[in-house]
Structure 1
């Protein structure tokens, strides 16, 4: 058993008589994902209103410079029957009266202070001060003393002898607790946490109540029981209400009793909730089970239990996933003449003209990094299930509700930069945290490299652990998870090639450069991926959706041949939209059925053409000369293939699924 670490600080002037509220307990570091951190305040008298008080956390690291990083406004809150107010995440038990996000409180060496002030008095990065100071605790987790922070608070005579208190090493199981002896001397002890309890064991003992359910996910039309259990039998009937509403989920979505009663001498009660099976496609929803009117003598041991309600009324798109693609069902929404300025140009002139279109500061808009989430739930929606997003590398659907919001990414999806931030030089600013909608935007231009951080053409929904595994590897080094079929290869290639043209300072190069600022590889790999995995309906649909937000398009989805004129086999040739597109129209040539059992029909050929069949890895399997529309037996095994059709020095590619 770990022996408590005792810190006796004889600071006689730190007495309760000097203030009405003090820092009573702090748990700044917990094992694992740091979701159980909390701060507890103590007032002289019970049920003390905290209007006019604010809690400020200060960063004592060399980069933090003893300035504020998190502020909690206490207006509207009051301490409980024991004079306690607990501040922490919903993962803390008992549930704090004041909820904050998980993993917010830093480990140290840092400080937390109470002021008689307003939260607006402490914007982020405000240097620690003794003005209007009520109480302060300087703490760490086996860190060296923060002498600068100590010196700041030493200026207040009440804290002239303040010391830094050690909670223990990293991932410790302690909290720092405040004690006052008979002579009003204050000491601190690092020991087992006691949230919502007085540190000396005195005060009113509150009876804890917990909520439990059998599962965390149900379908519409299911029924489930919610059970409520007290720590000790109640001495008089306990009556309280519960709430289940949460955003769009409300009383029209369920039936059941929400008024709960635990009889005298009992410790348990339950209610049955039945979910309504409607015909509306509302998307998957989440109910949050929580107490509404629990008497003051009871503690909420847990609350805000989230139960997912799976909507069975999801819709399907008229096009396929990248794994089973379709072509020609989604039409580009590019404005008439969008690419006309490219005609007759080559080399650097062609590059510049293309950048002038997709980075035009008079037209193109940049959104926040938070807005990207709203873009992705539409742009990356799973064509097979409107309640899911399609994950880039792992080639699967995942519930939109499984967005990563904390440090745990298992089973979650998040935003993947196809052009890694560390290689591109993108970064966040504070305003990036605000999702302010489609009509609020930044003006942006080719030199606005920072906006690459939130450019939705280069951000995709991805599995959290796989995103971490990819890291900032170059493509070619990274080829995706084992056993996936590479359905994302062309998408990724066109995404990063777009970034090179869109932003000055980025370059896609051959090889795997490690020191080149703004460089990403491997160009040869990406060109192969582009050629062997042509744009499909899924990619065109997301191009259209992103265009609605950003007012620019990925030209290599609309005009895939442009890749050859800038990086490939046609470098130096003059681009002519009519010759490159109209004379050999990919949409005019139809290959069906797709998927196929092995025999396909080819329609729309106007001249002799050569059809080449490639495996998804790029290996050429066979070549056939076609003089007219015909039925063709490919005689290949099941899998994904790329058909390249060449006629009069023009080519087009189509993806084919063989079942």
Structure 2
């Protein structure tokens, strides 16, 4: 009887978990008649309410499911946006749980956890520090070169990674500082992760202080130049199969979702910039 009861309990938990991560069920109570920043706040409440925080070490374990390469090289290696060469041979590859960074000197030495919204801006506090929807496995050297620079489109390139990601001065007339530009294949992925962060942490971001990326408000959240870049990338690089798989798998660990992967149209329903 005890064994039967335990099995039944596991089955119930499994069904419950699947239901919570089902796209239609997850958003079923959202007031979809709203739009703009009012809708953004309701969506923020949903993401916060359902979010189950992870430990920092748990991210590496989760990556074995969320970030295994089943769409590009299909070899179950670590799917790293900073080293992947779509349609070509990767310059190096990582096996999950092997060569996790301590120290590094060169590309290909080790991989670590890259905070797309730099963790120094929120003093490495949780749950931001361990939020899997903006913390990705990437090569340590490239992560270090990106540092805390905002994403953007670069000119006068100062450094390039082996897959073509680059660090250089922004070509945007509204911001002339250094920016990090990923390859085209992953610009939409990064944009949707950053838009997720703006919604999930809309009430906290104004307290992070000034950054070139943020405007100090909880409504628009990001600086106009940066938001325009993200929305441009979001439109030009549609949701990929890898993103959908990652979103589903990540929900199994963290219990919330990235709504801009599930509903790309919501980004433009929330933000209008000219």
CA distance in 2, matches of 1:456, 1:409: 26
Once the two structures are TM-superposed, the CA of residue 490 in structure 1 deviates from its matched residue by: 0.5
> Within the alignment, does 1:365 sit opposite 2:67 as a pair?
no
CA distance in 1, matches of 2:215, 2:46: 31
Change (3 A) 1:422 1:565: same
Once the two structures are TM-superposed, the CA of residue 417 in structure 1 deviates from its matched residue by: 0.6
Q: Any idea what SS the aligned residue of 1:341 has?
A: coil
- Which of 241, 244, 259 is matched with 1:537 structurally? 241
> Within the alignment, does 1:406 sit opposite 2:102 as a pair?
yes
CA distance in 1, matches of 2:251, 2:101: 27
> Within the alignment, does 1:560 sit opposite 2:256 as a pair?
no
Q: Which has the higher helix share?
A: 2
Once the two structures are TM-superposed, the CA of residue 457 in structure 1 deviates from its matched residue by: 0.5
Q: Any idea what SS the aligned residue of 1:366 has?
A: coil
Which residue matches 2:113?
415
Once the two structures are TM-superposed, the CA of residue 475 in structure 1 deviates from its matched residue by: 1.0
Once the two structures are TM-superposed, the CA of residue 353 in structure 1 deviates from its matched residue by: 1.2
Q: Name stretches of at least 5 consecutive residues in structure 1 with no aligned partner.
A: 1-331, 428-449, 572-659
CA distance in 2, matches of 1:502, 1:477: 25
Change (3 A) 1:366 1:513: closer
Q: Which has the higher strand share?
A: 1
CA contact (8 A) 2:60 2:97 kept: no
Q: Any idea what SS the aligned residue of 2:185 has?
A: coil
5 Å matches for 1:590-629? none
Q: Any idea what SS the aligned residue of 2:46 has?
A: helix
Which structure is higher in RCO with an 8 Å CA cutoff and minimum separation 6? 2
Change (3 A) 1:515 1:536: closer
CA contact (8 A) 1:546 1:553 kept: yes
- Which of 234, 248, 254 is matched with 1:550 structurally? 254
Name the Cα RMSD after superposition.
Answer: 3.0
Deviations 1:435-469 (CA, angstroms, capped at 9, x unpaired): xxxxxxxxxxxxxxx21000000111111100000
Deviations 1:364-420 (CA, angstroms, capped at 9, x unpaired): 210111101111121110113444111112224432244324222642111111111
Q: Any idea what SS the aligned residue of 1:462 has?
A: strand
CA contact (8 A) 1:470 1:478 kept: no
Give the count of matched residue pairs. 213
Q: Could you tell me the TM-score, scaled by structure 2's length?
A: 0.68
Deviations 1:238-285 (CA, angstroms, capped at 9, x unpaired): xxxxxxxxxxxxxxxxxxxxxxxxxxxxxxxxxxxxxxxxxxxxxxxx
Which residue matches 1:468?
144
CA distance in 2, matches of 1:336, 1:456: 21
Change (3 A) 1:337 1:463: closer
CA contact (8 A) 1:527 1:568 kept: no
CA distance in 2, matches of 1:561, 1:389: 29
Q: Could you tell me the TM-score, scaled by structure 1's length?
A: 0.30
Which residue matches 1:116?
none
CA distance in 2, matches of 1:350, 1:387: 37
Q: Any idea what SS the aligned residue of 2:113 has?
A: strand
> Within the alignment, does 1:453 sit opposite 2:129 as a pair?
yes
